[in-house]
Structure 1
């Protein structure tokens, strides 16, 4: 069973932390090795955050003490040490070679590191909870902000082969405000948003929760403001050597959600897919020689 990530615990509570506690939390996330290996006094000197603030952070995160927080950091760093060394080797190698081949190596290396981190660090029980909520939902509404919209469309396309109650909210289609008004406690509102976070994604998540719907947020960092309104939140690794976030790990997670829905469905999924494909053929959707 994977070690619980400090980032996961912090993300769940980040929105309710004071400014000083957020500074301490940001340092803990950004410097896991230092937190795991150096004394509290040393950490305080490096971060300009008082020891008392780190102790208050530990209590706010429901640890017994700062030492308990530090021990979890040690476990997480220990579980990741191979990944860190491999990533360091990839970064050194990225300086070798020229042109398109080197660019390909850097991009693929970043994607592989993101996938490895997702596999090692995701909370499997929370993943199962998300699948259960999605399976039981009367309706699932998806909102992908900015570049995330294409991911939402892809997932809705896949799920509509097996159930017709997944819809995507978009500027060109279903209006967001009208859609939020129709949500109820039997529904799920699933949001995908990456840095820089869309204002509409944050506010829509809050409104969906006010309507009683289950809110699921997929993002890239513990500081995402939508997480404070999420019933279930995932921080998905999105590192990239480019100016944009990588969506490879996010796609892998979303496709896993769909695969889990299919595997635990009580319906005859194969028959549903066959009927959809039959109608596609009757409509002439696919090229035929």
Structure 2
């Protein structure tokens, strides 16, 4: 007997097919992504009334996402809501209560799967377009809060090697407002955020949209508030046996993007890297002789 086919996760299915949906089906998909509790617990008529989208559109959406019908989609929403009821302490308790299962193999397996999934989840053409946008922007502001703050800091640090146009918002005593002030259509904002989404990340999206700046969002779900405002959206996986989300795929994604930007920076970028390396040497930033060496230009 063959195993039954596992239904797709709602947000994965929406993310994979969103670009191919009609306007009405996108409206239905947006509601499903943002209101899974309502979809799981209320009737189709009630969901349609609350969202302003026809019941027929929800039925078509279900089939477009790979479900047999709306009831199957709703069953999946119920299953996902039940699985998400575990809090961070609940997940931590399971780690404590399961000491005989080595964690390292499970962590490596989850992170490897997340990274390999980038090849299917990330559109190469969109990534190239995002790199072109960032390479030509007058100014690039990087935003990350809570668990994403360290990753945003790392991206800003790497960008500082080859460009002086990047800044990190709201870090080291600086205000978010100071970084976002003066944004315009010639500028770009990168927002990194994972569930539970930081309020300041959502506010940054709103500020960038008001200013007309180009917006790049790196997140884990179609449910990220304000995702519809993004010019470039990169939804990737964060599965982990830990009580927290994994940033392994996020790191690979931003390092890839950084490499693409260095290639676009050309001789000016190489000259900037030489200058930064020399300044690091003069300031004695690195222990011993660890400062990166470059051949003479």
TM-score, structure 2 length as denominator? 0.69
Change (3 A) 1:54 1:70: farther
The residue number in structure 2 matching 1:284 is 284
How far does the alpha carbon of each residue in 1:217-276 deviate from its partner, in whole angstroms, 9 at most, with x for none?
Answer: 111111111312212111111111111110000010001000011123333433322221
**Partners of 1:24 and 1:282 in 2: how far apart?**
52
Give the Cα–Cα distance (whole angstroms) in 2 for the partners of residues 108 and 219 of structure 1.
Answer: 21
The alignment status of 1:220 with 2:220, answered yes or no, reads yes
| Pair 1:17 & 2:27 matched | yes
Aligned residue for 2:226, secondary structure, equals: helix
Spell out, residue by residue over 1:69-107, the C-alpha distance to the aligned partner (whole angstroms, 9 max, x if none): 549xxxxxxxxxxxxxxxxxxxxxxxxxx8587100111
**Cross-structure match for 2:85:** none
For 1:122 and 1:257, locate their aligned partners in 2 and report how far apart those are by CA, in whole Å.
12
Query: Kindly tell me: are residues 25 and 204 of structure 1, through their superposed partners in 2, closer, same or farther at Cα, counting changes over 3 Å?
Result: closer
Map 1:197-276 → 2, pairs under 5 A: 197-276=197-276
Q: Find the counterpart in structure 2 of residue 7 from structure 1.
A: 15
The answer (yes or no) to whether the contact 1:58–1:69 under 8 Å persists in 2 is no
Q: Could you tell me how far apart the structure 2 residues matched to 1:172 and 1:276 are?
A: 21
List per-residue Cα deviations over 1:104-157 (Å, max 9, x = no partner).
011111101101111222111111111011001001001101111111111111
Please say if residues 190 and 216 of structure 1, whose CA atoms lie closer than 8 Å, have aligned partners that are also in contact: yes
Q: CA deviation at 1:55?
A: 4.3
Equivalences for 1:1-289 in 2 at 5 Å?
A: 6-10=14-18, 17=27, 22-23=31-32, 49=44, 55-57=56-58, 69-70=65-66, 99=99, 102-288=102-288
Contact 1:217 / 1:226 at 8 angstroms: preserved in 2?
Answer: no
Q: 1:102 & 1:116 partners in 2: Cα distance?
A: 22
- Displacement, 1:286? 1.4
**What root-mean-square deviation, in Å, do the aligned CA atoms of Structure 1 and Structure 2 show?**
3.5
Cα deviation 1:176-229 (Å, max 9, x = unaligned): 123222111111011111110111211221111110101111111111113122
Corresponding residue number in structure 2 for 1:37: none
Whether the aligned pair in 2 keeps the contact of 1:140 and 1:166 (CA below 8 Å) is yes
Task: State the secondary structure of the residue aligned to 2:233.
Answer: strand
Task: Output the CA distance in 2 between the equivalents of 1:195 and 1:225.
Answer: 10
Point out where structure 1 has 5 or more consecutive residues left out of the alignment: 28-43, 72-97
Report Cα offsets for 1:15-57 as digits up to 9, x if no partner.
x736x97348988xxxxxxxxxxxxxxxx99x9657x967414
User: Mind listing any 5+ residue stretches in structure 2 that lack a counterpart?
Assistant: 1-11, 49-53, 68-97, 290-297
Asked whether the equivalents of residues 208 and 215 of structure 2 are also in contact (C-alpha less than 8 Å), the reply is yes
How many residues are paired up? Answer: 238
Q: How far apart in 1 are the matches of 2:33 and 2:207?
A: 29
Paired position in structure 2 for 1:30: none
Query: What is the rounded CA distance, in whole Å, between the counterparts of 1:159 and 1:220 in structure 2?
Result: 23
TM-score (norm 1): 0.71
